[in-house]
Structure 1
Amino acid sequence: MRDVKQQTVTFDLPPDHVFQAALGVVQNDKASTVLAVHNGGRKLVVRQKAKMSNPKFVQVYVEPTAGPSHLHVQVGSDDRSSRALMDGRANQKALGRFIEDVQGALDGSRPAPVTPVPDHFMQKKSQVPWVDPNTDPDIELGGSFKAMYGL
């Protein structure tokens, strides 16, 4: 990923609830494609393709702690696209919008219904089961993205 922007947000909610809100936001966004999801590990990798900017990758991880849950989000541009002057600014804006949408899904102001999805990652056009959340998925869409994600 290029021009990576990241943020961590803390919620006083169970980690599974926060993860389901993030998954619902992605599933209800027409420009987003889920590349990898692990429900038990609360990890999610998404590709976003906006009309007027370079494709972006979004990595989401919800970390459970003794008290609140921590939502970690990273947004970066696709390395295969041409470098644009505004990539960093567009990534920061996409990061802020994603976090606002998750907060809205959690407080009910922007409902994001969730469709259950099995733990998987994409290998070209097929879904491969993602068994161990501690093992990084080898996402492949015509070329390996594993190195791009830093996974």
Structure 2
Amino acid sequence: MRSPKQDSAAFTQAPEAVFEAALGVLQNAGNMTLLAAHNGGRRLIARERPKMSNAKFLDIRVEGDAGAAQLHVTVGTDPRTPKAMLDGKANAKVLKNYVASVRGAVDESSPAPASPVADHCLQKKTEVPWADAGQDPEIELDGNIRAAYGL
């Protein structure tokens, strides 16, 4: 990823509820594609295709125990796109908006219902099982982006 931006947010809800909210926000956004999901490891990888800037990758992880959860989000520009002066600023904006949307979904001020997904990653246009959340998925889009994404 190019020009990565990271943020974390603490929640008093269970990690499962925060993960479901994070998944719902991705599924309800019109410009996001879910590239990989692991329910047990509470990890999501998505690609955003904005209209006026370069495509972005989001790496989302939810950690914690029954009483509290921590949401970790990293946003970076697709390294296969041309470099732009405002990549970092655009990534920070996407990050801020995504974390705010998850907060809204968790506290139900702006609900984002989630549909269940299997543990998978995309290889070209085929969903392949993602068995071990400890290992990064082998995602392929229009060629192998694994090395470019940094996985």
With the shorter chain as reference, the TM-score category is over 0.9
Question: What is the rounded CA distance, in whole Å, between the counterparts of 1:122 and 1:66 in structure 2?
Answer: 30
Determine whether 1:101 maps to 2:120: no
TM-score by length of 1: 0.96
Matched, 1:82 2:82: yes
Listed one character per residue, the Cα deviations across residues 10-38 of structure 1 (whole Å, up to 9, x for unaligned) are 11111111000000000000100000000
Task: State the partner residue of 1:135.
Answer: 135
In the TM superposition, structure 1's runs of 4+ consecutive aligned residues that sit over 3 Å from their partners are none
The alpha carbon displacement at 1:68 in A equals 1.8
CA contact (8 A) 2:45 2:57 kept: yes
Q: 1:3 — aligned with what?
A: 3
Mapping for residues 53-132 of structure 1, pairs under 5 Å = 53-65=53-65, 67-132=67-132
The answer to whether structure 1 residue 14 and structure 2 residue 14 are counterparts is: yes
Name stretches of at least 5 consecutive residues in structure 1 with no aligned partner.
none
Could you tell which deviates more after superposition, 7-16 or 19-28?
7-16
> Where do 5+ consecutive residues of structure 2 fail to align?
none
The corresponding residue for 2:39 is 39
TM-score, normalized by length of structure 2? 0.96
Count the aligned residue pairs.
151
Tell me which amino acid in the other structure corresponds to 1:16. Answer: E
Query: Contact 2:78–2:149 at 8 Å: present in 1 too?
Result: no
1:126 offset after TM fit, Å? Answer: 0.3
Distance 1:29 1:3 in 2: 23
Q: What is the CA–CA distance in structure 2 between the aligned matches of 1:61 and 1:101, rounded to whole Å?
A: 15
Q: Contact 2:37/2:44 (CA < 8 Å) preserved in 1?
A: yes
Q: String of CA shifts for 1:96-146, please: whole Å, max 9, x gaps.
A: 000000000011111101111111000001000111111211000122222
CA distance in 2, matches of 1:144, 1:94: 24
1:28-72 CA-to-partner distances (Å, cap 9, x unmatched) read 001000000001100000000010010000000001247521100
The residue number in structure 2 matching 1:27 is: 27
Contact 2:79 2:149 in 1 (8 A): no
**SS state of the match for residue 27, structure 1?**
helix
User: For residues 8 and 67 of structure 1, what CA distance do their matches in structure 2 show?
Assistant: 17
Instruction: Tell me the secondary structure at the aligned position of residue 18 of structure 1.
Output: helix
Matches of 2:66 and 2:23 in 1, distance apart? Answer: 23
